[in-house]
């Protein structure tokens, strides 16, 4: 039955932020546990080949264990920051280990990848520029407990930027008449201003200005944007460093046009920016107005069919990865380089294996700690043929 309390020795660390143990031949994924620790953990989910458990008592702690900066950083409370119990150095080491293991297991690659801090990150706190708060039935504001609809009231979130944390309602109550239909509220801090948008019921047309490497972009408050202030500059710099100035470039899954904008600002010609989401594509068109960039709203796989005149593809797919159809479509072109931006190591590894089947060789792979205190990590891989 579930809810058994087990004594477990944590021998590894898995994708998703779990410590790994074995109990009577079964793999147990343990939340809030670090390699080298002995813990008492309560099993809450059993599958045929593996179980999930949550640490309740740390009997033998790792020397890398620290007191979380946030008292709510526990699986039974907020749960969003699933690595606050590890030192920042250890967090990055664990993320590096996960990337390396995923590349080997799913990608067939023997690579050691270092995960580095992004510029401006000091202690892993005060970085999140966009926060989606949930509103409880009684009007209190907070975050949903992991795996639950229960809202944990949050009065102060230490990973959010000061501008976000100073929003007047945070940790308080939304009055009944303010946003009667809202279930969530988004607080977003741009380069100069802060916007608050209830969902549903808010003005989804709100935009914020983001300044990156000398260019300005306007980004929808409810749309996608990198939440660490150092993330967009770091990724844009990586793209600039790996795209030859004279190359014909396709910017696929382009969002609001960040990479196209910085490439055009550098003087890049022959740029095509492709994005399937209507709002993001419309915003990209506005951001790239006056630039010599063709902006296309289309499903990427559908758009690729029959096209070939490209030298370098900048590929920034969703968390699930690009997949075989898109990668086969790119392989059918004249492209000789892919600059792949990935937010999931497992999806990246699977896609690199697919690309390898079509003759692509993996060059550099860099890891970026754009989500400190969590298990999430960003990578940039360069492929050539």
User: Sheet holding 130-135: strands in order across?
Assistant: 151-153, 141-144, 130-135, 184-189, 194-199
Tell me whether residue 343 is one of the annotated catalytic residues.
yes
CA atoms of 367 and 87, how far apart (whole Å): 18
Tell how strand 194-199 and strand 249-252 pair up.
Answer: unpaired
- Note whether 223 and 283 are within 8 A (CB): yes
- Sign of the C-alpha dihedral, residues 334, 235, 226, 159? positive
CA 339 to chain centre: 17
CB atoms under 10 Å from CB of 169, counted, come to 18
Taking the CA atoms of 42, 47, 49 and 52 in sequence, report the sign of the dihedral they define.
Answer: negative
Asked if 254 and 274 count as a contact pair (C-beta separation under 8 A), the reply is yes
Torsion, Cα 175 178 184 189, to 10 degrees, reads -110
Report the b/e string of 362-380 with b at 16+ CB within 10 A: beebbbbbbbbbbbbbbbb
Sheet of strand 26-31, all strands in order from the earlier edge strand to the far edge: 5-9, 38-46, 50-60, 26-31, 18-23, 12-14
Catalytic residue among 157, 273, 343, 379: 343
Q: Which helix (H) or strand (E) holds 97?
A: helix 88-107
121 token code pair: 């990150």
379, containing H or E segment: strand 378-384
SS3 95: helix
Separation in Å, CA 367 to CA 171, 316, 372: 34, 15, 13
Tell me the sheet residues that pair with 224.
Answer: none
Helix axes 323-331, 345-357, angle to 10 degrees: 40
The size of the chain, in residues, is 385
Query: Could you give the residue numbers annotated as active site?
Result: 343
């Amino acid at each position: 039955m579930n809810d058994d309390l087990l004594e477990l020795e944590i021998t590894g660390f898995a994708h998703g932020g779990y410590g790994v143990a074995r109990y009577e031949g079964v793999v147990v994924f343990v939340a809030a546990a670090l390699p080298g620790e002995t813990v008492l953990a309560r099993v809450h989910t059993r599958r045929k080949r593996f179980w999930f458990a949550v640490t309740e008592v740390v009997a033998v702690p790792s020397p890398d264990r620290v007191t979380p900066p946030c008292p709510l950083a526990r699986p039974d409370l907020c749960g969003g920051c699933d690595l606050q119990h590890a030192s920042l150095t250890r967090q990055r080491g664990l993320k590096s280990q996960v990337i390396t293991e995923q590349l080997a297991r799913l990608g067939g690659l023997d690579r050691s990848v270092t995960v580095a801090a992004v510029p401006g990150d000091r202690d892993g706190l005060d970085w999140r520029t966009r926060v989606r708060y949930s509103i409880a039935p009684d009007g209190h504001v907070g975050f949903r407990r992991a795996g639950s609809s229960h809202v944990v009231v949050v009065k102060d979130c230490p990973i959010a930027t000061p501008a976000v944390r100073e929003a007047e309602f945070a940790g308080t109550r939304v009055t009944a008449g303010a946003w009667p239909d809202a279930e969530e509220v988004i607080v977003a801090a741009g380069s100069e201003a802060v916007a608050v948008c209830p969902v549903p019921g808010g003005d989804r047309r709100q935009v914020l200005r983001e300044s990156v490497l000398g260019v300005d972009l306007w980004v929808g408050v409810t749309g996608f944007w990198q939440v660490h202030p150092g993330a967009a500059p770091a990724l844009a710099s990586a793209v600039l460093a790996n795209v030859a100035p004279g190359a014909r470039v396709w910017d696929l899954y382009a969002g609001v046009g960040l990479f196209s904008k910085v490439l055009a600002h550098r003087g890049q010609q022959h740029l095509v920016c492709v994005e399937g989401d209507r709002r993001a594509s419309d915003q990209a068109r506005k951001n790239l107005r006056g630039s010599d960039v063709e902006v296309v709203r289309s499903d990427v796989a559908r758009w690729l069919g029959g096209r070939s005149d490209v030298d370098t593809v900048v590929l920034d797919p969703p968390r699930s990865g690009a997949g075989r159809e898109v990668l086969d479509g790119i392989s059918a072109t004249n492209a000789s380089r892919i600059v792949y931006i990935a937010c999931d190591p497992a999806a990246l590894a699977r896609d690199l294996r697919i690309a390898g089947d079509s003759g692509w060789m993996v060059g550099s792979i860099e890891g970026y700690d754009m989500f400190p205190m969590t298990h999430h990590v960003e990578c940039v891989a360069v492929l050539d043929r």
